[in-house]
Structure 1
């Protein structure tokens, strides 16, 4: 419960209001005690207790501030070290200056209080009091003799004349009141000058007892309106023994100025004696009070030092937090500017900086978005190009590459960005030749154009390369196109035109030549001598056979030159291959093996044209094996493959013949390119032409250790 109470008092603004109220009460009590030292001893306990409460509350507030400062320092919060340094400096300054003032104040207090009780001052007060007493003594002795004389005169008069005589004596003596009393306290006769008093008060019993003892009385007694008067009382002589005892009581006025001086001297002397008696307690009480006030002031000053230090460092902490926020990317940070000092100027400068950073970031974001849009646009454009486009820097490092460049070169260049051309050239021979070409021309710093031939699996590949330096000499852009198909198409078109013209020019005279040879043999066989008949027969037969051969060659030229429309239909490729192979399985020395695919594959082709393809390929394989005196062993397989995420049909025809010469592999599918002793060299050219008409591709390769293979790929989906 006590801990919760202290915690509740030390939280929020309640401690500050409570402390302010207690300090006001303490200040009031101290003011009252210092104005009246006689109340100091009575108020000391209240002052000391209230001071202890203020000390406790202030210690709680200060302890909370110091604990927060220690916690921030342990957590290495921004600004905690500077706050601790400022607090330490303030505390040293406060403790040092307060200690000096406290020591001087205690010394001055003790010396000052002791100086109040100087011996000369005390003697002067006593002399003044004695002087006033002597002055009053002379006056009182005079009045006492006068009273005795009145008593002697009155004792001779009869009672009837007493009242008249008293009035005369009152007027003559200047007395305020003259009364005669018996010892029983009964008034005999009186004369009073004050009209407000009708019945005088009887003198005090002590005066009566003193008179009865034979002593006269003279003294300074209080009167009405807090004034003083001199009272004298003497016994009246008795006329006879039987007469009652009476005494005369006379009241004389006191001089106002003399009375005031005497009273002041008496009061001063009384106060001095009281202070002299309380000298040591006063020193102790004042010292304790001063210590309490100094301790309160010191704690309050330390608390204020902590508060003002945190107040001074707070803008710096906000600046540190804002700087960290800006460093983390939050450029919208704005601080609250307080004051017009240097720190306020720094805060306003920070806000201006963040505003400018925000504007710069927004401008950068807009530029970045525009750059991204332009980059995306350029990437889309480059990605849609069929030409390969790459950029390199001056150090010959690859910076960008589009999809077509990877497709043309057969290497994923997007995964090898920031690689040098030397490292790319080590991947394969084609890239080595390509990189050497770029290195040989980029040092000239002018635009260049060069054609290069690369050796691929499907044959020779021809690239047309263009190099252009980038602006500000930051690198090069290389654009290259695969013109292999274009060159092949040009050659095919040229050969087609040649074949068409040859077929047209040669086919017309062949029939008359053949008919003329047959007619010569028929007409002149009987006319020639018998020994020349056989010669004529051989000559005419040779002419007819060569004409037939020429007709076959012309028909092949016609087949190569013409481009009839394809009659496409869904065909089971396995069934089509088996139908073609049945025509060649009658020969006992010919071995054919068909490796069927696990799943049936149907392809959209021209059935008759594909039969022509398979016949040409099988015929070439058989003739190549027979010319090399090797057994005819042909293996045919077909299966489904994925190429560029699309399904393709791949057909492979392998034989165990001598294979193709290395210098002929790239030219096999060109017209009149043949390795056979017989033949026109148009068979494989026709095969390639038909496959390309179907949107496919065909190429040849040698097998290891011997043999050759033809690979055909046809798309299974329309592209």
Structure 2
């Protein structure tokens, strides 16, 4: 199970920072919304006590609330869009997150709507109750009562001032101050002033004495006094707060007659100022302010109701939007550990055991993510150990396979029924059969290996039956088998095989080709025989020849004609047979004393041309009965060889090929011998092949063709191919011998040698 590739570390860090920034932004927005909502609720609770402050800041708060509500609505819409996209894509955890958000939103929305409905009814009815008819009548009556009281006090002061003017009738201007002090005491006034007809100060008593420029009555006031004899007015009620209470007073102005007669005498004006009682002034101002505020609110009643209802609605929106936003955030906080766990489980199921995300929360879900991350790390460590062990096993297996592939011995693993389970290239090379393509099939079904397979099976059966009795752990046996495919250029194979049992009832068969060893042993034995025969036979041949010649010389002319003819013929026969024996002995000697090859770089094509000069057709000569056809590969590089011995090899092969064609009774082109060279780039070797059109080798000769004294010729010693084989072994060349078969008919033989290239 291969692990999925983990995401890049930079991408994970960027995603984590982005998620953290988003949470911070949402948290700040939520905190701002809560702060604004708290301020709004505080102002609503303080509206009755500080209406001016509330009305002054209402527009700003309204705009801010609208902006915050719009932003929250956008955020909620964006979150809803993301949830919809996650749900549409089928992303894990989307349904859970939607359910949690919906539950929290309903928990916040339903109570909010209920409170809003109740508050709406309460505010509407409360505002209507503020403007009851009885309240308005009471405020009007109180205002009228206050005005009537002030008017009564003003009229009373005016009448008293008018009566007091009689005391000034005979008083001159110089002594008027004394009279004014008396009048001030009588009327309990704060200030008394006597004005001339032109509005000039004559005398004063009270506060005005300390003023450099007392306030003079206006021309209109003086005119009214002349027509009405006395007037009074209330002043200072226009001020607010403590100023109205301290400055509220009644100012009375009356016409003071003079006792002097004459055209120049003019009336004077007496001005009396009396402070109003503070309690009366405060009550009058309170009634007046209450009536004014009541009238203002009565006129703006609908606007006030809309203001309160709008504020309440905004508060509801803020509460609902905040509840939805908190629902999403809380839902995300609850679902996030589950999503992290689900993502981690999916990655683990896919084989990705990379470090998993861990939440730093102290709750149980955060602890669960940490436990899961620890478990994943333990799994990763365990898998790393297993992979390391598997790598070691694979390395050991690879080493074993490399060893098996490079073993010169053949190795085959069979089951109890003799079915091939595995094999190495050495087995294919030795048996010269496609064992790799034959895996899963019985060895006995391969052509040419039936007897070998049955023999091996019999050896295993005997081994298993006797193993417990004799304590054997393997068996060993030699086999001689033919080629698996007889038409290929290969010889009989001598094997030494060793068998043992493997776990699981499998069977191990190890074998090696000892044909070369057997052939070398035979060649060595025949060489020793040839050496001894040459020594034992050559010594008596010369005396025999000399004795026969001496008998002919002594008896010639001494016997009759018939006896002479017998003598001559007998001596000639003895001499000819002795010469034949000498030639045979010389061949034995040459085979036994074949010198070691001196390997040098040799141009094989040039050497072949040089040898074939002896077999060529020259002008004026009879054409050869067995012509030689050359197919030389010009790409052939130089090979490592002994040129003298290679000449002997080519000569022996050509001679054997021509003899085979002659023995088949073929002449001319039908008896043509082909000599071919070929350069193989894949094996880096040069191949020499000689082909004839003879009758081929019989089966019993094909198996032992390279052994000394094995021949199909009527004449000859059978040492030609043996010498070729010995020279090939000296050169490290592989030699193959086979019949040329076409559609099951043998039409000749071929001998091939494969040489290494000179470096």
Which band: TM-score by shorter chain?
A: 0.7 to 0.9
1:708 and 2:748 are equivalent in the alignment:
yes
Deviates more, 1:605-614 or 1:681-690: 605-614
Change (3 A) 1:251 1:680: same
* Alpha-carbon distance, 1:260 to partner: 3.1
1:171 and 2:185 are equivalent in the alignment:
yes
The aligned residue for residue 521 of structure 2 is: 490
The aligned residue for residue 6 of structure 1 is: none
1:717 and 2:748 are equivalent in the alignment:
no
1:316-374 Cα deviation digits (max 9, x unpaired):
77777777887888765564744334554355446545655665566566556655654
The aligned residue for residue 279 of structure 1 is: 301
The aligned residue for residue 689 of structure 2 is: 651
**Distance in 2 between the 1:340 and 1:553 partners?**
107
1:589-623 Cα deviation digits (max 9, x unpaired):
97212112355677665566556555655665666
Aligned 8 A contact 1:69 1:84 in 2: yes
Aligned 8 A contact 2:97 2:332 in 1: yes
* Alpha-carbon distance, 1:166 to partner: 3.0
1:385 and 2:407 are equivalent in the alignment:
yes
1:124-157 Cα deviation digits (max 9, x unpaired):
5455556656766776676566556545555586
**Distance in 2 between the 1:114 and 1:574 partners?**
134
Q: Which runs of 5+ in 1 are unaligned?
A: 1-9
Aligned 8 A contact 1:181 1:248 in 2: yes
* Alpha-carbon distance, 1:286 to partner: 2.0
The aligned residue for residue 441 of structure 2 is: 422
Aligned 8 A contact 1:594 1:636 in 2: yes
Aligned 8 A contact 2:499 2:507 in 1: yes
1:116 and 2:130 are equivalent in the alignment:
yes
* Alpha-carbon distance, 1:493 to partner: 2.3
**Structure-1-length-normalised TM-score:** 0.76
Equivalences for residues 368-447 of structure 1 within 5 A = 370=392, 374=396, 377-389=399-411, 402-410=424-432, 416=437, 420-422=439-441, 429-430=447-448, 447=474
* Alpha-carbon distance, 1:65 to partner: 5.6
1:179-203 Cα deviation digits (max 9, x unpaired):
3446654445432167654665345
**Distance in 2 between the 1:539 and 1:584 partners?**
40
DSSP-derived class of the 2:286 partner: helix
The aligned residue for residue 104 of structure 1 is: 118
1:459 and 2:496 are equivalent in the alignment:
no
**Distance in 1 between the 2:667 and 2:59 partners?**
134
* Alpha-carbon distance, 1:167 to partner: 1.8
**Distance in 2 between the 1:653 and 1:703 partners?**
12
DSSP-derived class of the 1:422 partner: coil
* Alpha-carbon distance, 1:282 to partner: 0.5
Change (3 A) 1:281 1:694: closer
DSSP-derived class of the 2:511 partner: strand
Change (3 A) 1:338 1:132: same
**Distance in 1 between the 2:78 and 2:329 partners?**
11
* Alpha-carbon distance, 1:503 to partner: 3.5
Change (3 A) 1:114 1:637: same
User: Which one of 664, 676, 686 corresponds to residue 701 of structure 2?
Assistant: 664
Aligned 8 A contact 2:162 2:254 in 1: yes
Change (3 A) 1:458 1:290: same
* Alpha-carbon distance, 1:440 to partner: 7.0
Aligned 8 A contact 1:29 1:47 in 2: no
How many residues are matched?
Answer: 702
**Distance in 1 between the 2:451 and 2:134 partners?**
126
The aligned residue for residue 222 of structure 1 is: 236
Aligned 8 A contact 1:589 1:631 in 2: no
User: Which one of 479, 483, 490 corresponds to residue 510 of structure 2?
Assistant: 479
**Distance in 1 between the 2:739 and 2:498 partners?**
31
1:391-420 Cα deviation digits (max 9, x unpaired):
578998877654434433445667x5xx73
Aligned 8 A contact 1:659 1:706 in 2: yes
The aligned residue for residue 626 of structure 2 is: 592
DSSP-derived class of the 1:190 partner: strand
Deviates more, 1:27-36 or 1:363-372: 27-36
User: Which one of 620, 631, 637 corresponds to residue 674 of structure 2?
Assistant: 637
* Alpha-carbon distance, 1:422 to partner: 0.8
Equivalences for residues 296-311 of structure 1 within 5 A = 296=318, 298-299=320-321, 302=324
1:202-237 Cα deviation digits (max 9, x unpaired):
456776566555485555432995412344455556
1:531-572 Cα deviation digits (max 9, x unpaired):
988888887777666655554444443333333234667463
**Distance in 2 between the 1:484 and 1:651 partners?**
22
* Alpha-carbon distance, 1:108 to partner: 2.1
Aligned 8 A contact 1:621 1:634 in 2: no
* Alpha-carbon distance, 1:387 to partner: 1.9
Change (3 A) 1:710 1:152: same
Change (3 A) 1:420 1:603: closer
The aligned residue for residue 340 of structure 1 is: 362
Change (3 A) 1:567 1:276: closer
**Distance in 2 between the 1:677 and 1:500 partners?**
24
DSSP-derived class of the 2:688 partner: strand
DSSP-derived class of the 1:103 partner: helix
**Distance in 1 between the 2:662 and 2:417 partners?**
57
Aligned 8 A contact 1:322 1:333 in 2: no
**Distance in 2 between the 1:246 and 1:394 partners?**
157
